[in-house]
Amino acid sequence: MVNYPVELLNPIPCEGEIILFKQGTKLSGKVVVLDMLIPTISPEFVDAKGIIVEKGGILSHSAIFARELNISCIRLKDATKILRNRQKIILDLKKSIIYVEEVK
């Protein structure tokens, strides 16, 4: 497993499978990775388990939306370049890092 430091935008414990966001993809129960969450695509995220964004802070749309849904939201620089579909992640709230399982 590899770990990456993250900024906690909505610190809710989270672990699960990653999916890189593509409009129309089923996101239910997945941890969704994207550049930044904007209001026009928010309805697609209602069943997501968590959100990982590259941009935004605690007052960003991503963070506010995650707080409303009571799901995890973190910021990881270059997340869309580092993370891949079907990788498993575990968020460590105490250390502000995510552990990422390598895909073989």
What would the pLDDT profile of 1-59 be if each residue is shown by its tens digit? 899 999 999 999 999 999 999 998 899 999 999 999 999 999 999 999 999 999 999 99
Q: How confident is the model at residue 104 (pLDDT cuts 50, 70, 90)?
A: low
Residues 6 or more apart from 70 whose CB is under 8 A from it?
A: 12
Architecture (CATH level 2) of domain 2-100: 3-Layer(bba) Sandwich (3.50)
What is the pTM assigned to this prediction? Answer: 0.94
What would the pLDDT profile of 74-89 be if each residue is shown by its tens digit? 999 999 999 999 999 9
User: Which sequence spans correspond to the domains of the chain?
Assistant: 2-100
On the 0-12 / 13-18 / 19+ scale of CB atoms within 10 A, 43 is exposed
